[in-house]
Amino acid sequence: TEAWGPDDDELRPHRGPVKVRVPAKINLHLGVGPLRPDGYHELNTVYHAISLFDELTARRGDTLTVTMEGEGTGELALDESNLIIKAARALATRARVPAYARLHLRKSIPLAGGLAGGSADAAATLIACDLLWGLGMSRDRLAEVGAELGSDVPFLLHGGTALGTGHGETVSPILARPTTWHWVVAIADGGLSTPAVYRELDRLRDDSWPPAPLGGPDQLMAALRQRDPEVLGAALGNDLQPAALSLRPQLADVLKAGHEAGAITGLVSGSGPTCVFLAADAAHAQEVAAGLTAAKVCRAAVTARGPQPGARVT
């Protein structure tokens, strides 16, 4: 059709299906500052994308629908409250196009796990619908739309290892020599509500407990450059961990089991209840995962590698 230049493939609606893979995130450093008037906490975080993926497929349709399989099926509402629907509508509004698509989610990232699964699905939706609708928006413009959907959406569009500030939505990549880090992810039975964990942290801080906030990520950034898992392990930190442990005391058993299984170190991922453990290499990660599984302290223990790219068409 004449309206499109011959080389403007990206700006032409895609016939579909469009398949997008998006990683989960962990926080290598999560420094939580004060509660702001807008209800968010000021953050100083180092995001890290790991090899636990959701996959979103977008097809053309004459209405907007979402279906799913995998983790959380039957628990996650598929109505207007779903972040996938919200992301598609937000993008359509911004681009002034009708929000028509049939979206299908294959979910592996657990719900309310502290791994940013909801933000991941929103990021995947933005990438998929941008292509399906032929919008050709830059990742930065998609990140602007995404920041209003969830604090971690901009990071999950970019992936890798990156610094997050503001309420997490302002992302700058960390340039380091490529190193693969090996993790074990201990998935809990049942989730934790992120707002509830932040509220618990505020409550603990009002009682002058837990210890002083972590502050900036300088030590963590220096550790990343050294490429030594022992050094990285000593620099990992999460201000939300005491709050997650307060709401879910059993997580102490998970951290202890990971330690006993030989992990370099372990910590709660984001707002929890997922715990992540650093291993020296792939074989060590398998051993730690086997130890955690045998200890029967979590629903599943799986190995993962980071960093990974952000939401991408496969």
Write out the binding residues for ligand C5P, residues 115-174 only, by CB under 6 A.
150-152, 167-168
Nearest to 30 by CA among 227, 248, 311, 276: 276
Torsion of CA 255, 261, 265, 270, to 10 degrees: -40
Show the tokens assigned to 30. 């999560």
Q: Count residues binding ligand C5P (CB under 6 A).
A: 12
Query: Which CB atom, from 150 or from 242, has the smaller least distance to ligand C5P?
Result: 150
Show the tokens assigned to 271. 């707002």
Give min distance, CB of 280 to ligand C5P, in A. Answer: 32
Write out the binding residues for ligand C5P, residues 37-76 only, by CB under 6 A.
39-41, 43
Catalytic status, residue 152: yes
Query: Which CB atom, from 141 or from 199, has the smaller least distance to ligand C5P?
Result: 199
Give min distance, CB of 24 to ligand C5P, in A. Answer: 14
Give min distance, CB of 33 to ligand C5P, in A. Answer: 9
Give min distance, CB of 52 to ligand C5P, in A. Answer: 18
Interface residue with ligand C5P among 195, 206, 249, 314 (CB under 6 A) is: 195
Backbone angles phi and psi of 39, in degrees to 5:
95, -5
Interface residue with ligand C5P among 27, 57, 194, 265 (CB under 6 A) is: 194
Buried b (16+ CB within 10 A) or exposed e, 241-256: bbbbbbbbeebeebbe
Q: Which of 54, 121, 130, 152 is catalytic?
A: 152
Give min distance, CB of 290 to ligand C5P, in A. Answer: 33
Query: Which CB atom, from 71 or from 169, has the smaller least distance to ligand C5P?
Result: 169
Catalytic status, residue 86: no
Query: Which CB atom, from 150 or from 229, has the smaller least distance to ligand C5P?
Result: 150
Catalytically annotated residues = 25, 152
Residues that bind ligand C5P (CB under 6 A): 39-41, 43, 150-152, 167-168, 194-195, 198
